[in-house]
Structure 1
């Protein structure tokens, strides 16, 4: 197990937390109690922990295309529960698809 620790900076939030290389980013968020990323199933099945990596290197385990499209992944959008840091990172929470749909529905009914 890799014990190397990286600093994860949350853009526009001025919060940072440390994350070991052998733990996914969502686990680091939870351990830091920073509440900067929405927590769901913790296994990639719900898609609510969607983030955008703005800077740094990371490794990602397989993600469901129901939640992350190939285009999104190419833009650095990943599930925090499936992403492992390989350097210091700058991230920002990305809006989960179901919230986007709810907002669209709200605009239509207004």
Structure 2
């Protein structure tokens, strides 16, 4: 099992090399990476790999991840499996959800 760390939440979970980063997270009941269609079509689970290596397990939708982004470590969590421990940041459509609670709590 490999360690997957999400920068926004500070949460770490274990994921096997045989499952996608999204499958590993949902199997454990974790909620750090937004879940959408789980087959690469919606782009909700778009992440950036900050450290570690992953392998593609399915087609990466060019509607959501350009070749240039992919070359820089951006991918869909439902389409990659870990090859080693990974640190990731959510950059998909729902990444702003991580900033609202901290803004609300500082203005209280």
TM-score by length of 1: 0.79
| Partner SS for 2:61 | coil
CA displacement, residues 11-45 of structure 1 (integer Å, 9 cap, x when unaligned): 13221000010000110111222210110111001
Aligned-CA RMSD value: 1.6
Moved over 6 A (4+): none
- 1:83 is aligned to 80
Long gaps (5+) in structure 1:
100-110
Long gaps (5+) in structure 2:
97-108
- 1:13 is aligned to 9
Aligned pairs for 1:45-64 within 5 A: 45-60=41-56, 61-64=58-61
